[in-house]
Chain A
Amino acid sequence: MGLFKMPSLGADMEAGTLVEWMIAPGDVVAKGDTVAVVETQKGAIEIETFEAGTVGKLLVEVGETVPVGTPLAEIGDVSAPEAAPAPAPESAVALEPTQEVTAAPEAPPPTPKPTAAPTPASAGRHRASPAARKLAAETGVDLSGIKGTGPGGAVTSCDLEGAPKATPREAARASGIDFTEMRKAIGRAMARSKREIPHYYLKHQIDLQAASAWLEDYNGSQEPAGRLLMGALLVKAVALALKNFPDMNGFYEDDAFTPSVAIHCGVAVAVRGGGLIAPAVHDTDSLSLSDLMAAMRDLVARVRAGGLKGSELADPTITITSLGDRGVDEVYGVIHPPQVAIVGFGTVEERPLVVDGSLVAAPTVISTLAADHRVGDGRRGALFLRDIETLLQKPEAL
């Protein structure tokens, strides 16, 4: 019994949906008769048989979508309707060429590519990549003494490390941000900050009972991926407080302070291999807690992988530093110029609190502020920290 298969009707047809059978088992069909209607991207197309015969079994149901080549019906010899199904006419020749083309045992002759054959001018010349040359210049290494592992013995950056195993410095380089350079830059900024910015410092302990309870409740209804950390609440509280304290959110340059309209909190992230980097979460005040949590997670991941954008490093209008679980009670930061403030959060701990005359053990955090005395004084700073505290008493509003 011959098989009638889903025909290919076009270069981009991969499958068709059987919409209607025009034949039934037992029908006798002639060459050219329409046997079915098939729905394709272009519309319904009638398909014909190229063989005459008697229709045997219909193999596909109305409504089914099947790939081109799928047997749809048995259409056999008029004389032998019960003959055993003929083997599907698989053409070995048709299969081979596909394999031959994809296997491609010999690569086709390459288009005349400019091969890097050593020309007379460059024979004997020491080859080093631009990156290697730059690094050598920075670190004072003599390139001609380095054995290269690049193409044709060329010296590339990794050849300048010396040791075959990755050193921390090399790991830092591997992440895409030049951390040694970054450390130097941070160092320079910190020195300048201490030199030029008259810091004043305040600290304030914040009761986190409400925040903690709310967080536990919220997280209880979340998948792990959607759970919040206390850090997100702390950052959000700072961002919202800044709306009332624009004198903490901006830049001091050329003897003048310019408040920033937008609030981009720089969130300090520890870098493997040492160092701290504080990329911006843009428009922190406008993010929901879950969005903020996601943004903070994303920043950490990208700091690790080395995928930060320049704008993220340049844009913070204030910095928040938090020591997390394994920190200490209080952290006093150094302001990152040209910012004018840095908020710190120590470790969240159970501490004795007096509530309504009684002693309770409650989760608390010690918040600190280091601020630029040229822009404001301690009274402003104190009100700012108080505002953060107030916001954290209503976590549901964050």
Chain B
Amino acid sequence: MNKYAPGDVRPHLTRDHCLHLMKQMTRIRRFEEKCAELYTQEKIRGFLHLYIGEEAVATGVTEALGPEDAVVATYREHGHALVRGVPADRIMAEMFGRIDGVCRGRGGSMHLFDVGRRFYGGNAIVGGGLPLAVGLALADKMQGRDRVTVCFFGEGAVAEGEFHESLNLAALWKLPVLFVCENNGYAMGTALDRSESETDIHAKAASYRLPAEVVDGMNVVEVEAAARRATGAIRAAEGPYFLECRTYRFRAHSMFDPQLYRSKDEVAAWEKKGPVVRFRDWMVAAGMAHEADLARIEEEVAAEVTAAVAFAEASEWESVNTMLEEVGALG
């Protein structure tokens, strides 16, 4: 995966590393596209929130994490789980609701957990993960463990009280939380300037006295660099850090959304400067990658996705007889 130590604050733009970043983003992209297709075939039900267009944020930030660090994410978290190392087939099986899914199929798209990889969901409550991340970081600090907790959330969460309470608490107690706001401009159908008097989110975070940066969320290299700076500071016991990653989702909020709130031209404009296409063009122009490399990546990713779907299709359903188990440990 990533041969750079978590503490390394400088991104190394070697060919290998760039191809690795490209593959990670491609894995997310193709996985999400396949999920969309499967949803229309009713293999995946309920709600489906796709990360297409935002791949650079999860990819870049996760590069700065080590296996001991923790990740808290939102309902748009398939990509975050993938780059964290949660196997694609277990994720797909979970999306299908089958027993071989990461959560025995009980959670579905919005509730992916993999405790072994310190991936704590998946949360359908906007803002619901921030206090959880604060608590995980609190436990690390109290037990003297050198770990970072990353908390991903959208700019919609900024309106919730939990955002303010959690930033305040993290800054007050100097907790090792990396808050990553994925500002894609829309909380479902409501544009940011229609819901926030102050739309500069990193400025709000700064008012809680934590270091806060704006990052071009469409640029995976910039995201990784910022994440390394942030985690470096956090590991140096300087308290929490805040990254506002400005990005855009190319697809609707969820599958059943006619996108009445934004124009097709706007979407098209952002697609032209999307993370995958920009990085690919840059790599090719810089001689970092050749068409053959990119074709190989696509092939490998296609195989991974196909295998994941097959795994999910073949998986069984949890029996109704065990439905009452694991509400509590003792019953």
> A residues touching B (Cβ–Cβ < 8 Å)?
5, 7-13, 32, 40, 42-45, 47, 50, 68-69, 89, 91, 93-94, 97, 100-101, 104, 106, 108-109, 111
Return the CB mask of B36-76 against A: 1 if under 8 Å, else 0: 11011111011100000000000000000000000000000
Set B47, B258, B321: member contacting A11, Cβ < 8 A: B47
Which secondary structure dominates where chain B touches chain A? loop
Show 21 residue pairs from A and B whose CB-CB distance is below 8 angstroms, ordered by the A residue. Answer: A8-B39, A8-B42, A8-B45, A9-B39, A9-B255, A10-B255, A11-B256, A42-B256, A43-B258, A45-B257, A47-B40, A50-B36, A69-B42, A89-B41, A91-B313, A93-B313, A93-B314, A94-B43, A101-B317, A108-B321, A108-B324
Chain A residues near B330: list those with CB within 8 A: none
Q: Contact partner of B320 among A12, A13, A104, CB < 8 A?
A: A104
Shortest CB-to-CB span from A10 to chain B, Å, is 3
CB-based contact B256/A108 at 8 Å: no
How many B residues touch A, CB cutoff 8 Å? Answer: 24
By a CB distance below 8 angstroms, the chain B residues around A45 are 256-258
Q: Which 5 A-B pairs have the closest CB atoms?
A: A10-B256, A7-B40, A43-B258, A50-B37, A97-B317
In the bound assembly, the distance between CA atoms of A91 and B312 in angstroms comes to 12
Residue of A nearest to B260 (CB): A43
Find the residue from A40, A45, A47, A69 having the highest chain B CB count within 10 A.
A45
Residues of A close to B321: CB separation below 8 A? 106, 108-109
Asked if B329 is at the interface of the complex by the 8 Å CB criterion, the answer is no
Known: A9-B39, A10-B256. 6 other contacts (CB 8 A): A5-B40, A8-B40, A8-B41, A9-B255, A91-B313, A111-B324
| Distance in angstroms between the alpha carbons of A10 and B46 in the assembled complex | 7
Question: Which partner residue on chain B sits nearest A101 by CB separation?
Answer: B320
**What is the chain B residue whose CB lies nearest that of A49?**
B37
Q: Min CB distance, B234 to chain A, in Å?
A: 39
Distance to closest chain A CB from B265 (angstroms)? 15
> What distance in Å separates the Cβ of A75 from its nearest Cβ neighbour in chain B?
13
Q: B142 in the interface, Cβ–Cβ < 8 Å?
A: no
Write the chain A residue with the least CB distance to B42. Answer: A8
Set of chain B residues within 8 Å of A91, measured between Cβ atoms? 43, 313
**Which of chain A's residues has its CB closest to B252's CB?**
A45
Hey, which chain A residues are within 8 Å of B41, CB to CB?
Answer: 5, 7-8, 89
B285 at interface by CB-CB < 8 Å = no
Please tell me which one of the listed residues A11, A42, A101 contacts residue B45 in the complex, with CB atoms under 8 A apart.
A11
Chain A residues positioned under 8 Å from B260 (CB to CB) = 43
* Complex alpha-carbon distance, A97 and B46, angstroms: 17
| Contacting pair B42 A68 (CB below 8 A) | yes
Cα–Cα, bound, A68→B255 (Å): 14
CA–CA, A100 to B317, complex, Å? Answer: 9
Judge if B292 is at the interface, Cβ distance under 8 Å.
no
Residues of B within 8 A of A (CB): 33, 36-37, 39-43, 45-47, 254-258, 260, 313-314, 317, 320-321, 323-324
Distance between Cα atoms of A43 and B259 in the complex (Å): 9
Q: How far is the CB of B45 from chain A (nearest CB, A)?
A: 6
**What's the minimum C-beta distance from B35 to chain A, rounded to whole angstroms?**
11
Cα of A69 to Cα of B42 in the assembled complex, Å? 9
- Closest Cβ of chain B to A45, distance in Å, is 5
Bound state CA distance, A107 and B98, in angstroms?
20
* Chain A, Cβ-Cβ closest to B314: A93
Closest to B313 in A: A93
Set of chain A residues within 8 Å of B37, measured between Cβ atoms? 50
A111 to B320, CA, bound (A): 13
Q: In the complex, what residues of B have CB within 8 A of residue A111's CB?
A: 324
Q: Which residues of A contact B324 (CB under 8 A)?
A: 108-109, 111
Q: Which of B39, B40, B43, B324 has the most CB of A within 10 A?
A: B40
Q: How far is the CB of A67 from chain B (nearest CB, A)?
A: 11
| Chain B, residue nearest A12 (CB) | B256
Q: When the two chains form their complex, are residues B42 and A40 in contact, meaning their CB atoms are under 8 A apart?
A: no
What is the distance, in angstroms, from B30's C-beta to the closest C-beta of chain A?
11
In the bound complex, residues from chain B placing their C-beta under 8 Å from that of A47 are: 40
**B320–A40 contact, CB under 8 A?**
no
Q: In the assembled complex, which residues on chain A have CB atoms less than 8 Å from the CB atom of B45?
A: 8, 11
Chain A nearest Cβ from B38, distance in angstroms: 9
Contact partners of A100 in chain B: CB under 8 A: 317
Contact assessment for B317 and A40 in the assembled complex, using a CB-CB cutoff below 8 Å = no
Nearest residue, chain B, Cβ from A7: B40
User: Given A11-B45, A69-B42, A109-B321 in contact, is the A40-B258 Cβ separation under 8 Å?
Assistant: yes
User: How far is B52's CA from A365's CA once the two chains are assembled, in angstroms?
Assistant: 86
Shortest Cβ distance from residue A59 to the other chain B in the assembled complex, whole angstroms? 17
Residues of chain B contacted by A12 (CB below 8 angstroms): 256
What separation, in Å, do the CA atoms of A10 and B256 have in the docked complex? Answer: 5
Which of A13, A50, A109 contacts B256 (CB under 8 A)?
Answer: A13
The residue in chain B whose Cβ has the minimal distance to the Cβ of A68 is B42
CA distance A109 to B320 in the complex (A): 9
* The residue from A13, A40, A108 contacting B323, defined by CB atoms under 8 A apart: A108
Q: How many Å lie between the Cα of A101 and that of B318 in the bound state?
A: 10
On whether the beta carbons of B42 and A42 are closer than 8 Å, the reply is: no
Residue of A9, A42, A44, A106 with highest tally of chain B CB at under 10 A: A9
**Bound Cα distance A40, B314 (Å):** 32
> In the bound complex, how far is the Cα of B33 from the Cα of A93, in angstroms?
22
B256, closest chain A residue (CB): A10
Taking the nearest CB of chain B, how far is it from the CB of A36, in angstroms?
A: 12
CB distance from B313 to the nearest CB of A (A): 6
CB of B69 to closest CB in A, whole Å: 34
Q: In the complex, what residues of B have CB within 8 A of residue A101's CB?
A: 317, 320
Task: Given A42-B257, A43-B260, A108-B324, check contact A11 B317 (CB 8 Å).
Answer: no
* Docked-complex contact A108 and B258, CB < 8 angstroms: no
Contacts known (A11-B47, A94-B43); A108 close to B320, Cβ less than 8 A:
yes
